[in-house]
Amino acid sequence: MFARIYTSARVGFHATLISAEAELLPGLPNVSVIGLPDHSLRESRDRIRSAVHNSGFRFPARNIVINLAPNDTPKEGGLIEAAMAVAVLVSSGQLPQEAFAGTAILGALSLDGSLVAARGIFASAIFAAGNQQIRRLIVPEQVAGSLTVPEGTEVYAIRTLGELPLYCSGGMTPRSGLKYEPNYEHTEIAIEHIFGLGVAKRALAIAAVGRHHVLMAGSPGTGKSLLARAYRHILPPLNFTEAAEVTRIWSLAGLTQSELVTTRPFRSPHHTTSTPALVGGSSNATPGEISFAHHGTLFLDELPEFRNEALQSLREPLEEQTITVSRARGHITYPADFQLIAAANPCRCGLLFSEAERCTCPKRTSFAQFNKIVGPFLDRVAIELNHNDLPEIIFASHEMTTESLRQRIAAAWQRSRYDNGGPLNRDADAQLVYKFFAALKPHRLYESFAAAERLSMRSWLNVLRVAKSIADLEDEPPGEQHLYEALRYRFVRKWMARAA
C-alpha cells in the first residue's frame, strides 16, 4: 500500500515542503531511504524501527522503500523522521491515510518513540503552516505551545507515536496557534538618558526613517557606542512577515529553538571576527552576522580594526541586501537586509577630526586608520557624524525620548512606503528620488556640490535619500532646507582632502 505524509525541512537557508512516501515491496526485510537524504537521515532507519516497536506498533518485516520528494532536492536534518515513521505505519495499514490529509508532521524521533524538536523546527513549521496544502500541524509537545502560525491552522501536540491512533480517531483537541504580538527588547540604555548629543540623536532618528547606514567617528568617550546601543530601542517592532524571516534564519542556524523572534536583531561582532563569520561561509555554507542581523542592526565598533578583507566583503551586501555563499555542494543565497551602524576612532590619538585640539599622530600614520574605509565602502554610508565637533543644538520642537522617536519613525515609515510604493527611502528607485526634488534641479545641484563636497554619484543619491527621510520625519514636502541638512552629514572626504 502506497502512503504519503507531508513534512517540512531545511534546504540551505530555505524550508521546503517534503512528502515522505512509503511502499512495501516483496523481498527480504530491508529499509531503503532515497531522495537525496543526508547521513543523519540514512541513520534514521534504525531509530524509526525502534521508535515504531516501542510505541506499540508492528514494524513490517518487508522490503520498505521510503522516498523523500522532491527527488532532486538534498534533504538534511532530523525533522523528517516522524513523517517517515508515520508513512511506514500508513503503508502497512496500521494508521489510515485519510487522517493525514492536509497535515504536516514535524519532529525527530527518540528510540522510545518520543517526538523531539530539532534544529530548524520553528522555521519549518512557519513555512509549512503558510502552505495552502497544509491545514494542520503535528509537532512535539514541548514546542506546540510556543508556535506562532497563521490564523486557522490547527496545531496538535504529540508526545509519542503511540498517541497517533487517538489523533486519527478525532479524540485529540487541537491547539490554536499563538497570535503574533510584536515585542520590544528590554531597554539597555534609553536615548533620553544620554545627555547632550542632540545633533547625533537627530541624525540617528533620520537614519532610522530611511534605514540609512551610519558612520560615527570621534575620540574615545564621545558617546558613539552608547548611542548605537540606544538606537536599537527607537526602531518600530517587527511585523509578522519580518519576524518569520528572522526566525527562519535564526532557527536554521540553531540560534533559537523555543519561540518566534519578535524583537529586531542587534548584532555586534568583535573586530577580530573572520570574513566567513561576518558574511557567511565555512565548509557548511552557514550564514554570517550580516544575515543574523536581517531586518535589524549590525553594529561594528572599532570599524578600522576589522580586517580589510572583511570590510570590503560587506560592499555587495550593503547594496544588494543578500549574500551568496558558494561551496562545492552548491550555492546558497542568504538574506542580509541589515542596517549598518559603525563607530570608529579617526586615528590613534582620536583627534584627527577635531577643530579644537590638534592631532598628535605622525602624519604618515594619522590616515592609516581610515584609508581602508575611504572609497567604495564609504560611498555606501549615507550619514557621517563627527563626534569631535558636534554643535550643541537643542531641538525643542520635538521630545527626544525612546517612545516619542519610535512613534515619529513609525509614522515616517508609513509616509515613505506610501510615496515610494513599498520600500523605505534607502531602497527607493533613483528616478523616483530625483522626481521628489525635481523643483530644485538636482542634476545642477550635483554639478555645484560635487567638487566641494567630494561626492560621487552614489554619494549624491544617498544625500537625496537622506533629505527625503528628513522631510518624512518632519512630515513636510522635500525642500531645499532638507537637502542642506543632509549635506551636513558628509564630512570624511572633505576633511581628509583638507588635511592631506
| Length of the chain as a residue count | 500
> 355 in a domain, yes or no?
yes
Secondary structure E strands in 50-200: 63-69, 103-105, 108-109, 115-116, 136-140, 154-158, 175-176
> 185 in a domain, yes or no?
no
Are 430 and 495 in the same domain? yes
- Tell me which residue of 316, 285, 307, 303 sits closest to 343, measured CA to CA: 303
254-264 as b/e, with b when 16 or more CB fall inside 10 Å? eebbeebbbbb
The number of domains in the chain is 2
> 186 in a domain, yes or no?
no
CB half-sphere exposure, 414, CA atoms < 13 A: 7
CATH number at residue 110: 3.30.230.10
130, 150 contact by CB (below 8 A): yes
pLDDT at residue 175 in the model: 75
Q: Which one of 147, 176, 205 terminates a domain?
A: 176
Q: Which one of 122, 148, 176 terminates a domain?
A: 176
> 183 in a domain, yes or no?
no
pLDDT at residue 168 in the model: 93
Are 345 and 412 in the same domain? yes
> 334 in a domain, yes or no?
yes
pLDDT at residue 497 in the model: 58
Amino acid in position 294: H
List of residues 6+ apart from 193 with CB closer than 8 A: 230
Are 217 and 325 in the same domain? yes
CATH number at residue 241: 3.40.50.300
Are 129 and 196 in the same domain? no
Taking each helix axis from N to C end, the angle separating 480-487 and 457-474, rounded to the nearest 10 degrees, works out to: 120
Are 163 and 286 in the same domain? no
3-state secondary structure of 25: strand
pLDDT at residue 189 in the model: 85
> 184 in a domain, yes or no?
no
Are 162 and 210 in the same domain? no
Are 122 and 238 in the same domain? no
Q: Which one of 142, 176, 210 terminates a domain?
A: 176
Are 161 and 205 in the same domain? no
Are 385 and 413 in the same domain? yes
d(CA 435, CA 72): 47
d(CA 42, CA 33): 6
Cell of 148: 506562532
Which structural domain range is residue 161 located in?
A: 3-176
**pTM for the full model?**
0.75
Are 158 and 257 in the same domain? no
> 289 in a domain, yes or no?
yes
Per-residue confidence in pLDDT tens, the chain, 500 aa: 899 999 987 665 566 889 999 999 998 999 999 988 888 888 889 999 999 999 999 999 999 999 999 888 788 778 899 999 999 999 999 999 999 999 999 999 999 999 998 877 877 887 787 777 888 999 998 888 777 777 778 899 999 999 999 999 999 988 766 667 777 777 778 888 888 888 899 999 999 999 999 999 888 888 889 999 999 999 999 887 788 788 878 876 777 755 678 889 999 999 999 998 998 877 667 788 999 999 999 999 988 889 888 998 999 999 899 988 876 556 778 899 999 999 988 777 767 777 667 777 776 666 666 777 777 888 889 999 888 777 765 554 567 888 999 999 999 999 999 999 999 999 999 889 888 988 887 777 777 776 666 778 888 889 999 999 999 999 999 988 898 899 889 887 766 655 55
Are 270 and 304 in the same domain? yes
> 181 in a domain, yes or no?
no
Are 306 and 437 in the same domain? yes
